[in-house]
Chain A
Amino acid sequence: SAVISQKPSRDICQRGTSLTIQCQVDSQVTMMFWYRQQPGQSLTLIATANQGSEATYESGFVIDKFPISRPNLTFSTLTVSNMSPEDSSIYLCSVLRTGHTEAFFGQGTRLTVV
């Protein structure tokens, strides 16, 4: 499996501010995704991070709130903008290796907005 590093692992942020989460993979992967897991809930796909182009967002998620970058095959960032307490969640990076259909996850970023 790919080694996926997410930074930061956790953070406490003031409402109205923004946080950028980084995801670094140790090998080239075809697909990178960002998921949100609200407290006690399941995982919900935010968007697919596309290399060198705009991310593809799922229903209910918009670029202005969750801008995503993927400058190369092994790195992506997710920004949570203008945060409110409702954004308190675990944010997870997920990757698909070439020739595989099963996704692997990073350890997640636990975000608390106060």
Chain B
Amino acid sequence: GQQLNQSPQSMFIQEGEDVSMNCTSSSIFNTWLWYKQDPGEGPVLLIALYKAGELTSNGRLTAQFGITRKDSFLNISASIPSDVGIYFCAGQYTNAGKSTFGDGTTLTVKP
């Protein structure tokens, strides 16, 4: 089946720094999604991408759908302590809504 490689696995950064994480796939996707999960909670949707090359922002977050449709990245600018959590990428191939998830990037922000 489709597999997603998400990197890095974890990041330890200073408050105010920018963050970048990415996902690559062995096969193409039609939709890329980025989620954040806080402890004890379900994933919360941050950004959805629907077209190859699409660049979308949500506040300090920016994500791009790769031209090859096999990759996506998420950038967080000027990180703050509440950015701490696990970030997951997810890809969808069909419109059936089923998502394949990456392994997650655990972000720690030091004040």
Contacts and interface: CB of A to CB of B under 8 A. Distances in A.
Interface in B34-89: 35, 40-45, 48, 50, 88
Nearest to A9: B40
B101 A102 contact: no
Q: Is the interface of B mostly helix, strand, loop or mixed?
A: loop
Nearest to B30: A101
A10 to B, nearest CB: 9
A46 to B, nearest CB: 11
B42 A92 contact: yes
Contacts of B31: 101-102
Contact size class for B?
20 to 34
A92 B35 CA distance: 14
Interface of B: 1, 31, 33, 35, 40-45, 48, 50, 88, 90, 92, 95-104
Given A103-B90, A103-B99, 12 more contacts: A42-B104, A43-B101, A44-B101, A45-B98, A48-B98, A94-B99, A101-B31, A102-B33, A102-B45, A105-B44, A107-B41, A108-B40
